[in-house]
Structure 1
Amino acid sequence: MILLDICMEFVDDECKKQKQISTIKNIEPDDCINLYDCQLCPLPEEFVKFINQLFHHQIREYFNKSNFDSNSEDLIVFSKISSFLLKIIAFKSYENILKKNDDYFKNLLDILSCFHSMSNDPKSIFFTQDLRSTNNNNKCFAENESVFGFKRNIIGLIANYLHENMQAQEQLRISGRFIALLDSAKIDRNNPFILQWTIFAIRNALKNNPANQQFIENLQKQGEIFDDKIFNDKIKFI
């Protein structure tokens, strides 16, 4: 945990030195900042590769469990690592490590599917409710430190995988996980800016992909789009 904090501070400090992003004071997943085409390589590739492999191998085993403990230190560690990976995934120098592995992308989609299946269960620590809903005005929403920002980070990683990646775009649709992504377009107290990250992911999934665009159009015709306003106001078919 301490090592990851140090690494993230180091990445921030190095980024501040770069002229192309000199106006950015701090790079945080909350800001939905993506530095595509950035050539910066502030950390050794082997270290990044190790952290990425550790995350995917361990989290796969964790999500195979039948129950989840809200006080689990594992969840806090996973959330911290996902935040670290989201911070550096946009760097061009790490592209082959973080964005070129189909198994890792499938892993992220499986995690998203788990979130989706548990998000409507009030007893689940991954339970989420859209704070925009009028039905929630009189309810109290408690922030959960162990999962705070976790789902947002996963969707942020998925969004980066989908960026100009036709294979990932196709995998999202064929795997049946597109619905889970669409259902994540909510305002969730435990996941600040998750709506923005989800919109960005959907945009990347639709760009230059007629099959995915047709998939969304079919859902719209069937009345199965969870928030049709997103496609009218936020996302245009490209």
Structure 2
Amino acid sequence: MGSGRRALELTFDCGWQFCLFLKTQYRNLDTIGVAVDLILLFRELRVEQESLLTAFRCGLQFLGNIASRNEDSQSIVWVHAFPELFLSCLNHPDKKIVAYSSMILFTSLNHERMKELEENLNIAIDVIDAYQRHPESEWPFLIITDLFLKSSELVQAMFPKLNNQERVTLLDLMIAKLTSEEPLSKDDITVFLHHAELVASTFVDQCKTVLRLASEEPPDDEEALATIRLLDVLCEMTANTELLGYLQVFPGLLERVIDLLRMIHVAAKETTNIFSTCGCVRAEGDISNVAEGFKSHLIRLIGNLCYKNKDNQDKVNELDGIPLILDNCSVSDSNPFLTQWVIYAIRNLTEDNSQNQDVIAKMEEQGLADPSLLKQMGFEVEKKGEKLILKSIDTPKP
């Protein structure tokens, strides 16, 4: 190994000589195989000398450039590079090598090769890890958002094998796709319906892990954080009208959300814990900041699932969810979003639903619902004979 390294140092005492060699030989497609072999040798030697590191980078740039917009070259690069080159380079400590190998992967992938990637999930996971380590790098981001998230089969196969940090990263990019200014295309919607099934089923199965955070000394629980991010994704998915209908009838989802809200609400009343702290909903931050908004997002999801859906409106009533939601409305400057989502949920629960309106009207008469809060929601209770009516307040026009 030592003599081989010395030979390389003599041959490539300046990395640009390697780059010049590649440029003069690029028309000979056999050069692709030679370049890949040399790159893998560089990785095996774990080069640190700047000239050799430069040659390493130049070799990857060469492969990326020659594969760009040329299907024949892409096929040859893929035959020689997959999977060893990507397994060797995507986790390299040098961020340029990570970026260049990501460029090659993005340029070379097509529908057929995505199938091969499903059989080599370590490469897909390495891309997510690369984005975690280098969030400013464009290529790993594009691979995930423009390719991975458009393959429900890959995401379904990969998700169970991700650790919790990797899951959070993938779910964050799913949120970015859902909230982008560019709306989802018809093809995107088809794929995201499969993503919705994965996210909803995982949340239903694992959501109670969040209760661990209510312990006296809450752990740095990455599993709970991943579960919280599942809820964030569900909120954004149900904000999309084309995904909403599917999730409104997803088995057990609404029941589990109400059940979890009740358990967290009871835990917050019984002891001082992470869910007792007032705080705003934040997309980023440490576990305590994210958990502070968890209750708000549960109520938001209930409101979304009940939007113009009589069956879900009635189901929330049957599960005594209306008093639970109203009891969670604490007016506080430090937590304005909680009140807003309660207002939103109650409006969706009472829209064209006289039975739910009657429940709230009776609560107001019994002193269980704050009249000022109802007014803030745009409602007031009026008594007609022996009957209480919850009616909308006419807002004067400006």
Give TM class, smaller chain. Answer: 0.7 to 0.9
Matched ranges for 1:94-105 at <5 A: 94-105=243-254
What are the Cα deviations for residues 103-159 of structure 1, in whole angstroms up to 9, with x where unaligned? 21111110111122122234232214699xxxxxxxxxxx92351321111111100
2:344 matched to which residue of 1?
Answer: 200
Matched ranges for 1:37-76 at <5 A: 41=189, 43-60=191-208, 62=209, 68=215, 69-76=218-225
CA distance in 2, matches of 1:161, 1:125: 26
Query: In structure 2, the residue corresponding to 1:126 is in which secondary structure?
Result: coil
2:232 and 2:297 in contact (8 A); partners too: yes
CA distance in 1, matches of 2:335, 2:376: 22
CA distance in 1, matches of 2:188, 2:309: 21
1:181 matched to which residue of 2?
Answer: 325
2:257 and 2:298 in contact (8 A); partners too: yes
Which of 359, 377, 395 is 1:215 aligned to?
359
Matched ranges for 1:80-99 at <5 A: 80-99=229-248
CA distance in 2, matches of 1:198, 1:209: 17
Measured at CA, do residues 70 and 198 of structure 1 come closer, stay the same or move farther in structure 2, by a change above 3 Å? farther
- State the Cα distance separating 1:10 from its structure 2 match: 2.1
Measured at CA, do residues 65 and 234 of structure 1 come closer, stay the same or move farther in structure 2, by a change above 3 Å? closer
Measured at CA, do residues 114 and 230 of structure 1 come closer, stay the same or move farther in structure 2, by a change above 3 Å? same
Whether 1:3 aligns to 2:170 is yes
1:156 and 1:197 in contact (8 A); partners too: yes
Query: In structure 2, the residue corresponding to 1:87 is in which secondary structure?
Result: helix
- The residue type equivalent to 1:208 in the other structure is D
Greater RCO, 1 or 2 (C-alpha within 8 Å, sep 6+): 1
Which of 264, 282, 294 is 1:115 aligned to?
264
Measured at CA, do residues 128 and 64 of structure 1 come closer, stay the same or move farther in structure 2, by a change above 3 Å? closer
Measured at CA, do residues 156 and 193 of structure 1 come closer, stay the same or move farther in structure 2, by a change above 3 Å? same
1:139 matched to which residue of 2?
Answer: none
Task: Report the number of matched residues.
Answer: 204
Measured at CA, do residues 235 and 211 of structure 1 come closer, stay the same or move farther in structure 2, by a change above 3 Å? same
1:230 matched to which residue of 2?
Answer: 373
What are the Cα deviations for residues 159-203 of structure 1, in whole angstroms up to 9, with x where unaligned? 001111111111112212221100121246886511101100011
Matched ranges for 1:112-191 at <5 A: 112-128=261-277, 144-187=288-331
Q: Which deviates more from structure 2 when the two are superposed, residues 96-105 or residues 201-210?
A: 96-105
Measured at CA, do residues 164 and 54 of structure 1 come closer, stay the same or move farther in structure 2, by a change above 3 Å? same
Measured at CA, do residues 189 and 117 of structure 1 come closer, stay the same or move farther in structure 2, by a change above 3 Å? farther
CA distance in 2, matches of 1:235, 1:48: 33
1:151 and 1:191 in contact (8 A); partners too: no
Unmatched 5+ stretches in structure 2: 1-167, 281-286, 380-390, 393-398
- State the Cα distance separating 1:43 from its structure 2 match: 4.7
2:227 matched to which residue of 1?
Answer: 78
- The residue type equivalent to 1:228 in the other structure is P
1:159 and 1:202 in contact (8 A); partners too: yes
- State the Cα distance separating 1:58 from its structure 2 match: 1.0
How much identity, in percent, do the aligned residues show?
Answer: 21
Q: Normalising by the residue count of structure 2, what TM-score does the alignment of the two structures yield?
A: 0.46
Q: Normalising by the residue count of structure 1, what TM-score does the alignment of the two structures yield?
A: 0.74
CA RMSD, aligned part only? 3.0
